[in-house]
Structure 1
């Protein structure tokens, strides 16, 4: 069955010859030289249409194909690890396309459009096609390709699908810890067959998995084997990783980085302009479009086999059957069946949401360049002061024999994990006794230790070296007599991140000393231990300020184009207190995860507390701590309404520590934290935290019962479902090792809560974006952060827009089921202001 035509798709002999794998490899492998286009085309495989001039471009554009076509871009001068292509100076090298074996662009179904050098003008000939919403286009990572084309004056419309989002919809666990876990035993393939060739994939519509299966578990089953067997180098939702994972390629193709290394994509630029490498570059770029198209077909077929079920459409079977043409036989959850598939779900929601996210990135968030320059100057001054204090303290410290430990401390790089690890854990005082800190190793690995001292180059390119002698600290884990796995990096070395340094340092200038003091004071005395805490305090601030300068302030200033008013637009990924020159409306869901937990668990106590309003964390403190409950009972404090009781303190003011712990408990339950992890976070004994968990569950018994039900369902089906009907797989929930099965169980509960919260945020954003009233007033979304939606528009319309935004956000599912009501109110706090700081609700 062909996804493109809706009927059987058969290729004749000529079409199959166009995509002969041997032809492509042999011809392209000849490394053709860059000569005249007509001569060069003859030396290429028949399946690739090379476009280098206007005549060829017009012929390619003239194709009247109404079915989806997959596109991919190759570009350079963008460092994707740090920046988005939005508003970047990225330069397009080429476009590639593939729309199936029947779509012939002239010399075959694979299209390669040269957009560099003399050929760059032909890109304008494709503008009408890309901006035509009726021409269906498929991308893998639509945001990147759309931003690059936008930078060349083309606004892409007519998105059919983003295969990266389709893959996430099928299985959102591919970029998680689960992907690195080996199954209990080798999976048994569902059927034995040789890897299909490209010809076979195109000939039968790419349906290696067989016909769409009926039922949620059945639809998940065909790809589950591939998911567990994959051990390639790719991660997450990279295209090359997915085509191997889904059986489109027999093995994972090499990535861009592996084939064309070079900063800012310079390797691709060199290959594109090279006579020797162009053939290899042509094949690589064309393969990306081919892989994207085949992945689209595979995922669409698979998602079509999954019914979309959601509690929004839940009703008794007799009501669904009455007057309905929907067949309910064989469905796993007929009461919640919508009559649609997950493929149609993707069209209804993921497609417009993908386009919305691209628009938000393109729109950017208002920023005052002068403000950022002022912040940069202040940060640089603070950094120098902390560096000087760190150097002074480091040079003043001595070992037990009175010898300076680090007289060359000015060369220590605060951002080098290896140097900081050496500084913390090296033990020059007891080198002879070999009391060194060891790396946690796996079976078969060689043990390693932090030596007493170690040499480092003063700069990456210098041959001159300096010595770092350690402060003789031990990992915090050993203070409590147990291993803290969270304090070790995946490499096995103790972590030296900012949080660890804060724990070691404490706040010494306020008389609060951290773990370093408690380790060193019995051995070296108060002054030495206090000096080490102060040194680490300054070091930690050096790291934080350096990160802010190099990762935030400097890149933003470089990317903002200064104009007459001093305002520019930045990518909306960072919390900046900057004036926009307009009015912001900030809508913030109040305690969204807790409200979702109350609704999904049907816990009457939580529902009552949330719907009645008030401070739920103070109410939780009453449930957890007897002293708080006693104070509330005798009237010496009130839970939260202190204004109505003059002279009587609130729980928040009187018992702030207990309330903070209650708050942490509330969200820890929602996030699926364990007793052990929470004990480490709160720095409390596990037994005390276990008692807190018990009291919390006693006060909200419906939650514990619901969590057990979710875990049981997940163990039976190997997936969990959000409120809107999205799935997350848990392939290791029955793993023989409890650390994997237990983590999967907690992740299942967490997904129902976090996934449902994400559903609410997505639907609210779509409703706000589509609302014609807000559009007429000039208000558009410019950022979304966690539970906040931020709009920007004219100040004179803000008062009228606020109630509209509130109503849309408080009823996110009204467009799907107008009469649907959650068991709790989705309260939204809204504020306005000329900058984000003033507009915080």
Structure 2
């Protein structure tokens, strides 16, 4: 009984701290920073290492994530009467860039087939999951319009394995080490190493690309993105293992994270240059990493929406080896756009 009371007290304390942060960081300061038209303005800066935009004074890129927005604060960011917002973002952009840059057949096939990418990774990693799918004991995907699913979904039955696959999908792109896997998952270093190698087993091209990128960085002293943005790595040949490890992770992460920034930046330029979008009275008002928000007249929203998606899905003259699908909606406010 005492243990239960202690847990409830801790939960209440954590909830109180979360509420206090929402109030002090978001809810109270933002209204004080609006102009006479109730608009709020931020400063966007380019990160010279990756090319990503950051926001400050105020930081509008760190608003509460949708699942944590318990007070629906994103509703405060709304279009004026007679106008709408178009809110669009890329799906799994950095993973798609990794698939393109490495030429990884397994990843390219998974994206081409569609469905839940992380579940497909779990199938590659765990033979018993693949066998369960083959025996139709679980389903990789199911269209709810076809009625109740005849079997459990893979992401539900093997939720733990899927979470691990998802962690590695993103973590490998950032040079995740076996030490971090062991610490985060509470397993031995040997188990962590085995799990990472299992991931690489179906993605040998990723491992080869990473080794080539690190070796090239050692020779040149820098790594670079799609558009040739260079990130110089002073410690890439250092005798200090910690500094060298950090530089090696930066060498493989920057082309991917910076490549995402290149794509979003090119998409923004294309949107800005699209004459029809401008003629219909639409303009960009915010960028949040892989997401772009535009504002314009309500009566032209339906015509502009497919133009926006087309600009974002084809940011370059020559397409990549993987599609860049864009999800989005027409909404009255930022909260409704998800």
Residue 728 of structure 1, CA deviation = 0.4
Size of the aligned set, in residue pairs, is: 306
Question: Of the two, which has the highest radius of gyration?
Answer: 1
Partner of residue 268, structure 2: 765
1:753 and 2:251 aligned? no
Partner of residue 195, structure 2: 692
Following the alignment from structure 1 to structure 2, what is the Cα–Cα distance between the partners of residues 636 and 835?
A: 42
Partner of residue 787, structure 1: 290
**Aligned residue among 288, 297, 301 for 1:798:** 301
Q: Deviations over 1:243-299 (max 9, x none)?
A: xxxxxxxxxxxxxxxxxxxxxxxxxxxxxxxxxxxxxxxxxxxxxxxxxxxxxxxxx
**Aligned residue among 81, 90, 98 for 1:597:** 98
Partner of residue 154, structure 1: none
Following the alignment from structure 1 to structure 2, what is the Cα–Cα distance between the partners of residues 791 and 692?
A: 42
**8 Å contact 1:668–1:678 — kept in the other structure?**
no
Partner of residue 318, structure 1: none
1:549 and 2:23 aligned? yes
1:830 and 2:331 aligned? no
1:732 and 2:231 aligned? no
Give SS of 1:835's match: coil
Match runs of 1:388-787 below 5 Å:
527=2, 529-560=3-34, 568-569=39-40, 571=42, 572-575=60-63, 576-578=74-76, 579-581=78-80, 582-643=83-144, 646-787=149-290
Following the alignment from structure 2 to structure 1, what is the Cα–Cα distance between the partners of residues 312 and 260?
A: 12
Give SS of 1:631's match: helix
**8 Å contact 2:142–2:149 — kept in the other structure?**
no
Following the alignment from structure 1 to structure 2, what is the Cα–Cα distance between the partners of residues 641 and 704?
A: 33
Following the alignment from structure 1 to structure 2, what is the Cα–Cα distance between the partners of residues 717 and 607?
A: 29
Partner of residue 315, structure 2: 812
Give SS of 1:584's match: strand
**8 Å contact 1:721–1:751 — kept in the other structure?**
yes
Residue 570 of structure 1, CA deviation = 5.1
**8 Å contact 1:562–1:568 — kept in the other structure?**
yes
Residue 804 of structure 1, CA deviation = 0.8
Match runs of 1:168-187 below 5 Å:
none
**8 Å contact 1:642–1:648 — kept in the other structure?**
no
Provide TM-score, normalisation by structure 2.
0.84
Give SS of 2:332's match: strand
**8 Å contact 2:91–2:324 — kept in the other structure?**
yes
Residue 756 of structure 1, CA deviation = 0.7
**8 Å contact 1:606–1:700 — kept in the other structure?**
yes
Provide TM-score, normalisation by structure 1.
0.35
Residue 530 of structure 1, CA deviation = 4.4
Following the alignment from structure 2 to structure 1, what is the Cα–Cα distance between the partners of residues 189 and 285?
A: 44
Following the alignment from structure 1 to structure 2, what is the Cα–Cα distance between the partners of residues 540 and 678?
A: 26
Residue 727 of structure 1, CA deviation = 0.4
**8 Å contact 1:642–1:650 — kept in the other structure?**
no
Structure scoring higher RCO (CA < 8 A, sep ≥ 6) equals 2
**8 Å contact 1:588–1:789 — kept in the other structure?**
yes
RMSD (Å), alpha carbons: 2.0
Following the alignment from structure 2 to structure 1, what is the Cα–Cα distance between the partners of residues 179 and 79?
A: 44
Residue 574 of structure 1, CA deviation = 4.5
Q: Which runs of 5+ in 2 are unaligned?
A: 43-59, 64-73
Following the alignment from structure 1 to structure 2, what is the Cα–Cα distance between the partners of residues 687 and 703?
A: 21
Following the alignment from structure 2 to structure 1, what is the Cα–Cα distance between the partners of residues 181 and 244?
A: 19
Give SS of 1:742's match: helix
Give SS of 1:577's match: helix
Following the alignment from structure 1 to structure 2, what is the Cα–Cα distance between the partners of residues 688 and 532?
A: 34
Following the alignment from structure 1 to structure 2, what is the Cα–Cα distance between the partners of residues 773 and 625?
A: 49
Higher helix share: 2
Residue 561 of structure 1, CA deviation = 5.2
Following the alignment from structure 1 to structure 2, what is the Cα–Cα distance between the partners of residues 687 and 537?
A: 35
In structure 2, relative to structure 1, the CA distance for the partners of 1:592 and 1:569 (3 Å cut) is same
In structure 2, relative to structure 1, the CA distance for the partners of 1:791 and 1:693 (3 Å cut) is same
